[in-house]
Chain A
Amino acid sequence: MRYILTRGFTLLETFIVIAISVVALAALSNLFIIFNNTYGYQQAFMAGAGSASNAMNAIEAAILPADQVVASHSFSGTAYSSGATTLVLGLPSVDSSGNIIAGVSDYIVFYTSSTNLYRLTAAGAGSTRTSGLKKLSTTLFSISFTYDNVDFTKVTNVATDIVTRAQFKQQTVQSHLNEQVYLRNPQPLP
């Protein structure tokens, strides 16, 4: 086998090739860094702003149909009391055909533990709601529930304020949501 190109590269040709490669490599690594930053920021954004929005929606979805804000309720042995950072709600139980089950209530509590916000559901017998714990946010900075009446059984409006904060490098992604939600059908629990 015979090699036709035998003279090799000149120094100038090599320099030009290296220069072009360096420029291309610099552009590519710049692209990679931008991509990495964008990804990290999006992750922080989702953890911060996304979870604030999700948590607010979950709280709203529980308050609207609730019968009453409950001062205190025991969820399989652990008692939770409504207050500035905890909200216990009593809701009418609904069966699979959409009818309210007489004499039965579902209970939902929203509570915090360090930067986590949880929703714990205890469904009544026959209710279509599923009992269980759901973590709504892991980036909670502050939450506050404000009631329009000191007597929880007379509360018709709950003002919820949520601030979430997620950190990415030197950037802090903060999200602040505030909403007033009215109990649509406030009535004594069965």
Chain B
Amino acid sequence: MIIAKDLRLKQSQSDCSPDHGVATTPWFRGFSLIEVTVAIAIIGLMIVTTSTLLQRLPVSGDEVRDQDTALKVARTEIEVLRAGGYDALPASGPFTNPLLSSLTSGSASVTITAYDAKTKQADVRVSWVGTGNTARSMSLTTLIAQTSGMP
């Protein structure tokens, strides 16, 4: 607006016929409908983008908490397996943990495979359903040798 006003002043100074005011020299024609619409559309787009971004933040917070919970479930199982030692290793299959109920459709399983003659490999996997019905999972792996375990 300020620019337009300045231009108008310049125009009126160079135009040496002061009696012909606005009507004969409508130098500033205003904004066209298209210009205004485009400007409003751009502003609207910016606002919508920002609000979508902000609404996603709590979602990512929940995802982090779920991952942390799943990590704790897997860690506990690894600790139990390590403490139990080679001979006490269970067969492959699901295991329970009180934390699993705080995950949506949470399930956990352990897979025991032979790593070599004297070592077994334990894969602990925790699966759950994250926000937006996406399947999530995380897994931890450890090796347990025949001589391991707590006294």
- A interface residue numbers (CB < 8 A to B): 2, 4-7, 20, 24, 27-28, 30-31, 34-35, 38, 41-42, 45, 49, 53, 56, 156-157, 161, 175-182, 186
Count of inter-chain pairs, beta carbons less than 8 A: 78
Contacts of B40 in A (CB 8 A): 20
**Is B75 engaged at the interface, CB distance under 8 Å to the other chain?**
yes
23 sampled A-B residue pairs with Cβ under 8 A: A4-B12, A24-B43, A27-B47, A30-B51, A31-B50, A31-B51, A38-B57, A41-B57, A42-B61, A45-B65, A49-B61, A49-B65, A49-B68, A176-B99, A177-B68, A177-B69, A177-B99, A178-B76, A178-B98, A180-B76, A181-B79, A182-B83, A182-B150
* B interface residues, how many (CB within 8 angstroms): 35
Q: Contact between A180 and B79 (Cβ–Cβ < 8 Å)?
A: yes
> Which of A4, A7, A53 is the one whose CB lies under 8 Å from B8?
A4
Tell me how far the C-beta of B40 lies from the nearest C-beta in chain A, rounded to whole angstroms. 7
Tell me how far the C-beta of A62 lies from the nearest C-beta in chain B, rounded to whole angstroms. 15
Q: Contact between A175 and B54 (Cβ–Cβ < 8 Å)?
A: no
Query: Contacts A2-B12, A34-B55, A38-B55 given: A180-B80 contact, CB under 8 Å?
Result: yes
Tell me how far the C-beta of A92 lies from the nearest C-beta in chain B, rounded to whole angstroms. 17
> Which of B8, B21, B27, B83 is the one whose CB lies under 8 Å from A157?
B83
